[in-house]
Amino acid sequence: MGILNITPDSFAETSHLLDPTAAVDAALRMETDGVDIIDIGGESTRPGAEPVSAEEEMARVVPVVGALSGCVRVPVSIDTSKADVARAAVAAGASIVNDVSGLRFDPALARAAAESGAALVLMHSRGRPQTMSADAAYTDVVAEVTAELRDSLQRAADAGVAIERTVVDPGIGFAKRPSHSYGVLARLPELAAALDRPVLVGPSRKSFLRDAVGGRPAADRDWGTAAAVTAAVLAGAHIVRVHAVAEMVKVVRVAEEIRRHSYMAKG
């Protein structure tokens, strides 16, 4: 899953794709580079980010989603926690809704997903971007993340979303200190087995990598990201969400070969 941020304040990129033509060109390059899903977001969810209105978010993303509809062969995902934005994006051609709030922010989003027929990614987080660092307190991070994702799955089911259309994301870096994010990665098979749903992992360029890569800024953390992506794939992740698509496609292919041979050896 390639990240296409249409925001002025992305934490991980030095250039910003507010111009729809530039955003479409970036998406087409991702497809050429081997991306499987293009994830389009119009509101930053980095720690401390200020919210934007649904109207502003739609103005950023819907023209890009519409321009890509029928233009790319891969699915387009809308990264939003707002029901109105999800409806507009799906109407324009998106087929996946990726909600970082796990259906906590907008009670109407679950029904919007159910009515649209889109797939739904439910990510674990706590609080809001402005406050989530204060909520990074766990006794057993994997057990608690699993329980809270199970609640999100239940909210989706109660709104009519078929379980087969759901994917879970443990929310690396969201309301988690570095030790929590590494703990989730290390114990990913445990979480996946407990929830019995496909798992998306998004470690790309996040701050939990910073100390391990010598304090490098976000845009210079792709080597660390590659290690985290490899760990996620070997642990059974079905989707990895990344910025550097061309590089991470190669990383994933090698990790998949290692995983495949591991299964062959066990057989």
Matching residue, tokens 């010598």: 214
Catalytic one among 60, 126, 206, 221? 206
| Alpha-carbon torsion (178, 184, 101, 45), positive or negative | positive
Alpha helices of the chain — where are they, by DSSP H? 20-33, 54-68, 83-92, 108-116, 141-158, 178-186, 188-195, 222-234, 245-266
Rounded-to-integer distance, Cα 214 and Cα 192, Å: 31
Rounded-to-integer distance, Cα 79 and Cα 86, Å: 8
Rounded-to-integer distance, Cα 178 and Cα 190, Å: 19
75 neighbors 96 (Cβ within 8 angstroms): yes
Roughly how many angstroms between the first and final C-alpha of the chain, as a whole number?
30
Matching residue, tokens 């998106």: 94
Catalytic one among 82, 126, 221, 241? 241
Rounded-to-integer distance, Cα 23 and Cα 21, Å: 5
Matching residue, tokens 């250039």: 15
176 counts as catalytic: no
Q: Residue 34: is it exposed, middle or buried by C-beta count within 10 angstroms (0-12/13-18/19+)?
A: middle
- In what helix (H) or strand (E) does residue 32 lie, and over which residues does it extend? helix 20-33
104 counts as catalytic: no
Q: Residue 65: is it exposed, middle or buried by C-beta count within 10 angstroms (0-12/13-18/19+)?
A: buried
Q: Which residues are identified as catalytic? A: 206, 241
